[in-house]
Chain A
Amino acid sequence: MRVFKLKRDNFIPFMKGLGKFGELWGPVKKGDHHVYAQASPEQFDLKAIRTIVPAKKFFLPKKSTILKFKNNEWTEHFDVKKRVIFGLHPCDIHALNIYHKFYTRLYPDPYYLKNREATLIVGLSCLPDEHCFCNLTDTETVNEGFDLFLTDLEDRFLVWIGSPKGDEVLKLVKDLIEETTQEDIDEYVAWRKKRRSMFQVSLDLEGMPEILTFNYDSPIWEEMGDACLSCGTCTMVCPTCTCFDIEDEYDIRTDEMDRQRFWYSCVFREYSMVAGGHNFREARSERLKLWYTHKLVGFMSEYGSPACVGCGRCVVSCPVDINVLTVAKALLKEKPDAFWARMASLKNMEVEHA
């Protein structure tokens, strides 16, 4: 992998130069959080840790038309835009790599593939906050799945080239980058050390596939099911959740039937409902169990690694604190500080009183 240096003062022109490839998208502040938005690079927040919704939205849009029917004929519908997506952290890129496997292996998805082809992925290094745990999921560094990757060393960036496309695009900004020096390498090594020391979550996540398998009938699923609001937020914000639903919508304005594909969630009640009205996972606890076993066990056997990248989105997004960390803690018999656990102990107390 080749690496260059980019002075901080050159960051804006560098990004603007890459903008010749396509629309510029990056992390922009929204309230107290961040979202990937189309913006000029001056607006990008390089300190953003995690966006509300992950970069999967570029590859499997939240809602999109995939087919159009008119006069008994149908045509595939693509809405592909050339984009530069800046600011993906190593966990986000790992998640995209999982996405890639899912959407290309058995049934290559033309919509995914076209979107992916039209995208330039420019990664950005990060320093973890108290919810990050990519150090436990083996996703804290990344070697593939990006075109360019910027390591932020404050007064300069290291620019790693990750693909032939990245190499090609770098020609657009060749006057802005320089060869690296020994000092840069030393700084990078020190930066890595500093970053590694900043992780705050410690937990035996590696053991999860076995522990989850052992705990298939654990009462904690019921406890979580009692608290789960089935709001679907966990699956919407999870960068490796791939599920969607499809609906045909007739547009009376154009006399066209649009086949819409939109993000769906296995925690929704109808997800496991089949023709005739039978529901394989009527109970919320069953649906949660599906999510966690698929993510941490099922993926393991299918793709060789669990589908959690430690981004912490579920940790900061679930209103009742059901997330990879509290679930793992509970299964490891460490008491999680979580609403669902408090609700469960309340209920147990009521049972004792009765």
Chain B
Amino acid sequence: MGKPKVGIYGLTGCAGDQLNIINCEDELLKIFDIFEIESFVMASRAKNENVELDVAFVEGSVSTEKDLEHLMEIRKKSKILVAIGHCAVFGGVQSMFMGKEPWIERYKKVYGKENAVTLTPPLEPKPLAAYVKVDAVLPGCPIEKEPFLKLAGKLAHGIVPKVPDFPVCAECKWKENECLLLKGQLCLGPLTNSGCGAICPSMNIPCIGCWGPIAKENWESEALLLLEKGYKPDEIVKRFAIFGGTERAELLKNFLESHQKQESGK
């Protein structure tokens, strides 16, 4: 097996995920050793886009038509497409209002008019999977060095990695932390993908969910628990929405509203 041909790309986002790859300073030579890097614009102007890729890493959300075009091209020429970072995997904070109101209303609010001049026609920000098949994901805001290196190691050996299917709480217990939720804090650990090593709770900062919602999480229960602990529905919905995607936030909002009606009807 030759070296896998790799491209590293960014759509709309803060570019922090690509930056964190460059930040793997001590391992950069190794990364360039195990992969044939064909395109990584943040690191080098030299690039070759006319080649089939074994692996494409893509960060950022699809927020413009140009993004979408670019993503389609990447998908077409890549065997394995890996979404890296929260924006690519879940849509990022820019998608927290997705579907809440007609998108053009928000657009007008920001740009003052409907047909503002932009470099490329904008779209409602969405994760990659809204448009193309995504073969593997590495969440995080931004991605972390160690999980990225592990992912790279697996891909170099032809293994398509998967995200761990358990929440931050497990890693938090491995760190032997006190449970912040039990201490009454608005911690989203139970609803959030692990992999970060429970960095925030280990510093006594509740999890805000930047690794994105875990599959089939039990947000109903956590929301009711937080209500019981004295949090207002608004606070809960806001915290959920930042990294949880609007769809979930909307469900949660409706759930809490109907719950409150029930309570006041008693």
Contacts and interface: CB of A to CB of B under 8 A. Distances in A.
A269 B156 CA distance: 28
Interface residues of A, number: 45
Given A227-B221, A230-B218, A350-B262, A249 B179 contact: no
B179 A342 contact: no
Contact of A233 (B154, B169, B218, B225): B169
B200 interface: no
Interface string B185-227: 0000111000000000000000000000001111011101100
Interface in B139-163: 149-150, 152-154, 156-157
B174 A63 contact: yes
Interface residues of B, number: 41
B30 interface: yes
A232 B215 contact: no
Given A236-B170, A263-B170, A319-B190, A52 B177 contact: yes
Contacts of B25: none
B178 A251 contact: no
Interface string A226-245: 11111111001100000000
A317 to B, nearest CB: 7
A32 B177 CA distance: 11
B165 A252 contact: no
Contacts of A232: 166-167, 169-170, 173
B166 to A, nearest CB: 5
A317 B250 CA distance: 30
A228 B217 CA distance: 10
A230 B166 CA distance: 8
A114 to B, nearest CB: 21
A265 interface: yes
B261 to A, nearest CB: 10
B101 interface: no
Nearest to B152: A252
Given A263-B170, A268-B165, A339-B225, A249 B176 contact: no
Interface of A: 30-33, 35, 51-53, 62-63, 226-233, 236-237, 249-253, 257, 262-265, 268-270, 284, 316-317, 319-320, 339, 342-343, 346, 349-350, 353
What are the 8 tightest A-B residue pairs by CB atom distance, in nearest-first order?
A250-B153, A231-B169, A229-B190, A236-B173, A231-B190, A62-B174, A270-B165, A232-B170
16 contacts: A227-B218, A228-B221, A229-B191, A230-B167, A232-B166, A233-B173, A249-B150, A249-B153, A250-B153, A250-B157, A253-B149, A269-B216, A284-B218, A317-B182, A319-B179, A353-B262
